[in-house]
Amino acid sequence: MSTPLLEARGLVKSFGANRVLRGVDVAVPAGSVTCLIGPSGSGKTTVLRSLNGLETPEAGTVRIGDVELDWATRPEARAVSRLRGQSGMVFQAHNLFPHLTVLDNVTSGPVFAHGRPRAEAQEEARALLTRVGLSDKADAYPVQLSGGQQQRVGIARALATRPEVVLFDEPTSALDPELVGEVLQVMQSLAAEGWTMVVVTHEMRFARQVADQVLFLDGGVVVEHGPPSEVLVEPRESRTRQFLHRLLDPL
Amino acid sequence: MSAIDWELVRSSLGPLFDGLVRGTLPLTAVSFVLGLAIALVVALMRLSGRRLVAGVARAYVSVIRGTPLLLQLFIVFYGLPSLGITLDPWPSAIIALSLNVGGYASEAVRGAILAVPPGQWEAAMTVGMGPITTLRRVVLPQAARIAVPPLSNTLISLVKDTSLVSVVLVTELLRRAQEIAGQSFEFFTLYGVAAVYYWVVCLVLSFGQTRLETRLSRHVAA
């Protein structure tokens, strides 16, 4: 098997006395979709945020492409931001910049952070907005959009820096149910285009249809991982079975 | 005999307006701008997470807020010469007022920066911005909106506090009123006219505050 594009090994992280990650390994081949699932408090969001240094693990390594970080060495801010530059992120609460137009949100990374010419960045941003079905909203402000539209702008913003990997942190959890589909459709089409994606989600149908591999986390460890046809359909571990059962049959 | 000498009111309007436009307003404007710059630096020092830097900033705010402005003015104008630093009335007044505004406004600025949700910092970082770019492009524009009401208070207080510098011989509105009253002995009339001038300036500023708040809130959900 070829070298994965993203590789994390032995991630350990505590919040105070609470050990949320107890040695997590993740390997993501280029062009694949990995879904992280598990009960709340299982550490799946912490894993995701460790991949771009929004959390600082005490131990473990993360490598994306040719940028590698060993958390045990307490890397300095510049090294962390180099790793962070390899990925883009879509947040649960979208975290769009409310004082900027949709277009300026999407160009914020290329223009403000990377100093690229505004006209060129805007041209690419418009293409990305078309890509997520929002070409007519370029001049709107985030507050004028629906939740689903805001999240699609969030996706366009994350893609604008041309990241190696796109990280999604429960991108549909804060949305009204009828708006979930439009976001998942965009994500599905990105997957089909070959974007490498790591997705924390509770959307089991998305995981089953789009994911190449599923990692089930519980208690800060990866309990089970494999293709969705195994993990989601015929799980080996009883904890996985219980979780899926609770999710599919909450009453 | 009426308490108000209307002839004197009319003849004093011009000289007092002169004191307002050439004294009070420039003192206010310059001190406020310099004070805001100081406030931003002090607020960032307190938020820096470095104990020594934050401690210096905290001590500064504590001293400014814990001593009278008049005393601060006296120290700059009458006290510094004994250390070999002699300043003219205007620079003394501007230094004292700016330092005072800086101390008070830094708390408003710090609070406003902290009120911007952490997710904004995170989102800025994930698109590649460093701390300074994030501050400039993402956090301060949003903090500005939050800081408008408290900073407006500071500004309106400052307009009136500039009257204190009359005691170090800066010719501003109150001092001009004192000079004319000293010749005519019409204290009620002159101080009354001065009071109306101050009040009108503060009214205009309050109106400006409302307009600015509306403008800055236009892209924010109710």
Here the CATH number for the domain that contains residue B144 is: 1.10.3720.10
Please say if the pLDDT value at position A1 is more than 70.
no
Instruction: Indicate the number of domains in chain B.
Output: 1
Tokens of A210: 């789009």
Q: Are A134 and A152 in contact (CB under 8 A)?
A: yes
At residue B186 the predicted structure's pLDDT band, cuts being 50, 70 and 90, is confident
Residue of A nearest to B142 (CA): A99
Chain B positions with Cβ closer than 8 Å to A? 117, 119-120, 122-130, 133, 137-138, 141-142, 145, 219-221
Q: Are A65 and A72 in contact (CB under 8 A)?
A: no
Closest CA to B35 of B61, B8, B63: B61
Q: Are B159 and B201 in contact (CB under 8 A)?
A: yes
Angle value at C-alpha B59, between B53 and B62, nearest 5 degrees = 145
CB contact under 8 A, A97 and B123: yes
Q: Are A184 and A206 in contact (CB under 8 A)?
A: yes
Residue B195 sits in which domain range? 3-221
Taking CB atoms and an 8 Å cut-off, how many pairs form between chains A and B?
Answer: 68
Spatial distance between the Cα atoms of A78 and A94, rounded to a whole number of angstroms: 25
Share of chain B above pLDDT 90, in %: 77
Tokens of B102: 């800086």
Q: List pLDDT tens digits, range B32-63.
A: 999 999 999 999 999 998 999 999 999 999 99
Spatial distance between the Cα atoms of B93 and A197, rounded to a whole number of angstroms: 60
The mean of the pLDDT values for chain B is 93
Q: What is the pLDDT of residue B216?
A: 87
Q: Are B12 and B187 in contact (CB under 8 A)?
A: no
Number of H helices, E strands in chain B: 10, 0
Please say if the pLDDT value at position B2 is more than 80.
no
Q: What is the pLDDT of residue B222?
A: 47
The torsion angles phi and psi of B142, rounded to 5 degrees, stand at: -80, -35
Spatial distance between the Cα atoms of A179 and B83, rounded to a whole number of angstroms: 70
ipTM over 0.85: yes
Gap from A158 CA to chain B (nearest CA, Å) = 7
Burial class (CB in 10 A: 0-12, 13-18, 19+), B47: middle
